[in-house]
Structure 1
């Protein structure tokens, strides 16, 4: 897995949408300009640090963003704008994502099986650098936590892990 950086179009859109999102207490988690088949999609993913993103949040960002995009016309192609939540199991693809999620439960999916034959590791994100993620995971005998360092080059993805029902309820409150 390689750290993703904003491309030129994504960077321009990020700079346009960031002040709109911040005005509503939101964070721009990611911006993607992607081609699927013959169609282009501009996707903006939002987050909120204290509660889940809802449809009203997406509408509050979509309307002014649409106007700015129409006025400035930064993308020459025809595209569809989609604004949504980054989601509970959002992928961590930028350095800022790893920094923001330190201390959170994450799931790392490996490209190839590890020594024990497994392809996934779930644990608490305790460290990150450009080449590795470090997780605190339960030891096999259940006695204590152990630290596991995983090279990002061998990871297919790193995502926030499933939240249990108590964590979801706390996020909703």
Structure 2
């Protein structure tokens, strides 16, 4: 069964790309009437408030017609920021060697949260190798609930 975020990405991807933005990903945080639908966008020139407003208006128009989420929610359009979320295998390839933090859907060896560097990426297996202080882990992308780059200043 397709996730709601996959359906939403399909609905808005071409419109966002036609506006010369990259659709980084979509998060849906269900919390009753306080639910949040967060759309991350990026561009070569960076993202400002005006960019977020323009994309928000376009997405709102699409969602008014398509109604992909039956319940009440707040739409947020945002830049990915310095601790950029990673959604797809291509994101992991793009940031190969970078440090990330991630949370798994289910524990692996009694642990759900991991920090480490992306050691390798396998498109064929839809997986990454995460190099940590305690060893390396082969993780299927579908096992990852949330992943973000770690900013070093």
- Give the TM-score normalised by structure 1: 0.62
1:101 aligns with 2:101: no
Structure 1: segments with no counterpart, 5+ residues = 113-118, 138-147, 165-173
1:97 CA displacement: 1.8
110, 117, 127: which is aligned to 2:120? Answer: 127
> Per the alignment, do residues 20 and 163 of structure 1 end up closer, same or farther by CA in structure 2, a change over 3 Å counting?
farther
- Residue 163 (structure 1) shift: 4.7
Offset of residue 101 of structure 1: 2.3
Corresponding position: 1:150 with 2:134: no
* Change over 3 Å in CA distance of 1:157–1:45 after alignment to 2: closer
CA gap 1:38/1:88 in 2 versus in 1, 3 angstroms: same
1:80/1:95 Cα in 2 relative to 1: closer, same or farther (>3 Å)? same
d(CA) in 1 for partners of 2:61 and 2:144?
A: 39
* Contact 2:23 2:40 (8 Å CA) reproduced: yes
Bigger share in strand:
2
- Structure 2 gap segments, 5+ residues each: 109-113
Specify which of 6, 23, 37 is matched with residue 11 of structure 1.
Answer: 6
Question: How many residues were matched structurally?
Answer: 140
CA RMSD of aligned residues (A): 3.4
- Structure 1 distance, partners of 2:75, 2:102, is 29
Give the number of the structure with larger relative contact order, counting CA–CA contacts within 8 Å between residues 6 or more apart: 1
Query: 1-side partners of 2:68 and 2:102: how far apart?
Result: 36
Larger Rg: 1
The structure-2 alpha-carbon separation of the partners of 1:35 and 1:150, relative to structure 1 and needing over 3 Å to count, comes to same
TM-score under structure 2 normalisation?
Answer: 0.69
Question: For the Cα contact (< 8 Å) 2:33–2:72, is it kept in 1?
Answer: no
**Which residue number corresponds to residue 30 of structure 2?**
35
Contact 2:85/2:146, CA 8 A, preserved across alignment: yes
